[in-house]
Amino acid sequence: MSNIIVLGAGMVGSAMAKDLSNNHNVLLTDLNASVLENVKNSFSSIEILQLDVTNDIELSNAVKDKDLVLSAVPGFLGYKTLEKIIRLKKDVVDISFFPENALDLTELAVENNVTAIVDCGVAPGMDNVILGYYNETHKLESFECLVGGLPKEKKWPFCYKAPFSPIDVIEEYTRPARYVENGNLIVRPPLTDCEFIEFEKVGTLEAFNSDGLRSIIYTMPHIKDMKEKTLRYPGHVEYVKVLKDSGFFSDEVSKDFNISPLDFTSKILFKEWKLDPMEEEFTVMRVTLVGTDKSGKKEQIVYDLYDEFCKETNVSSMARTTGYTATAAVNLFLDGLFNEKGVFPPELVGKVSGCYDYFMNYLKERNINYKRTVNKLN
């Protein structure tokens, strides 16, 4: 039994703390005391601590006797927090999904003898694990990930709810989207190249460019075509584009109102997009790889995921699929399957013998099932 600290007690952070508390001593931290108390009331075995991660002394004292840190802070705090944790010589799994490049901290992690597994959610996360695994067995030509989390009930106008901060969603909607086409890095505006795609159990969704490839642009440069698209109900993109093009996502502080349009919009959307704890929602993802195996046979490998709100545990699907991937990484590391020093996105973990199976089995035990289909192309 290890001593683990979880930074961030949102929907995902709380779900991870509860999952880990079955086999470990867990300290859950957050700036919001009432959120912590709610978790404590339902899971008395979890210790809680009000913590400001931007306070270096508080953070240092909180992690000093812990075996591992699991960071689920908002994206805008993620990179600096990860850097601090590494400097404190603590092994860490991170799902804060910050815009900076985590690989820039590799040298620092090696110097401090730290293992940092980053971007370890559903996507980025499990799609990377799958990619890393097949990169060892196939000569891959292409990789595509389509992913989204949506409420079952469509509420006009956005037909969307977020299990995490609206600021992080807006960041996804404003950051230029990078993908690889014919070996070339292409940068496109976000929310572009919208297409309609059918999914079993869901129906028609719209897929649009988002900057989800992240680390694999650097770790998998030999794959000619790579793309990730975000999935939403049809019509969502148009409403978001209206806000974006009208300046509602600008971070420049208005002299007239002493607040930026982004801060104002986030406060409004927090109510509009807030996912109620008992609200039913689902996660849908399709990962498609094309490559040639070692016998020379060309294959298309497709992984489909459909997961719903769990009524038994009252945990949202997005918290389950994101959080339990991260807790799988925590246990995988503590069990000794992966202990290299440096910063490692999931594709570099998935390539290591036994790690892919560990992730898949861990998730299956929690009724998160990836359906694999292999199509022969020659």
The predicted-structure confidence for 361-376, as pLDDT tens digits, reads as follows: 999 999 999 999 999 9
Number of domains in the chain: 2
Q: Are residues 349 and 294 in the same domain?
A: no
- pLDDT for residue 258: 84
User: Do 221 and 264 reside in the same domain of the chain?
Assistant: yes
Instruction: Kindly state whether residue 11 falls inside one of the protein's structural domains.
Output: yes
Q: What is the CATH number of the domain that holds 67?
A: 3.40.50.720
pTM: 0.94
The CATH number that applies at residue 193 is 3.30.360.10
Confidence of residue 198 (pLDDT cuts 50, 70, 90): very high
Whether residue 187 has pLDDT greater than 80: yes
* Residue 232 and residue 165 in one domain: yes
pLDDT score recorded for residue 200: 92
Provide the domain limits for residue 331.
Answer: 3-121+318-368
What digits encode the pLDDT tens for the residues 106-157?
A: 999 999 999 999 999 999 999 999 999 999 999 999 999 999 999 999 989 9
User: pLDDT tens, 199-233?
Assistant: 999 999 999 999 999 999 999 999 999 999 999 99
Find the mean pLDDT for residues 183-206.
Answer: 95
pLDDT of residue 162: 81
Residue 256 has pLDDT above 80, yes or no: no
Spatial separation of the C-alpha atoms in residues 206 and 198, rounded to whole Å: 9
Q: Are residues 72 and 131 in the same domain?
A: no
Long-range Cβ contacts of 177-180 (<8 Å, 24+ apart): 177/209, 177/210, 177/211, 178/211, 178/213, 178/217, 179/209, 179/213, 179/226, 179/227, 179/228, 180/213, 180/217, 180/223, 180/224, 180/225, 180/226, 180/227
> Which pLDDT score, from 0 to 100, does residue 75 have?
87
pLDDT at 254 exceeding the cut of 80: no
Q: pLDDT for 264-278, tens place per residue? A: 888 888 888 888 878
Q: Are 47 and 146 in a shared domain?
A: no
pLDDT in tens, 313-364: 889 999 999 999 999 999 999 999 999 999 999 999 999 999 999 999 999 9
Tell whether 267 and 299 lie within a shared domain. yes
Token pair 């075996």 is found at 67
Mean residue pLDDT across the chain = 94
Do 265 and 219 share a structural domain?
yes
What mean pLDDT do residues 290-303 have? 96
Query: Could you tell me if 189 and 133 lie in one domain?
Result: yes
> Is 377 a member of any domain?
no
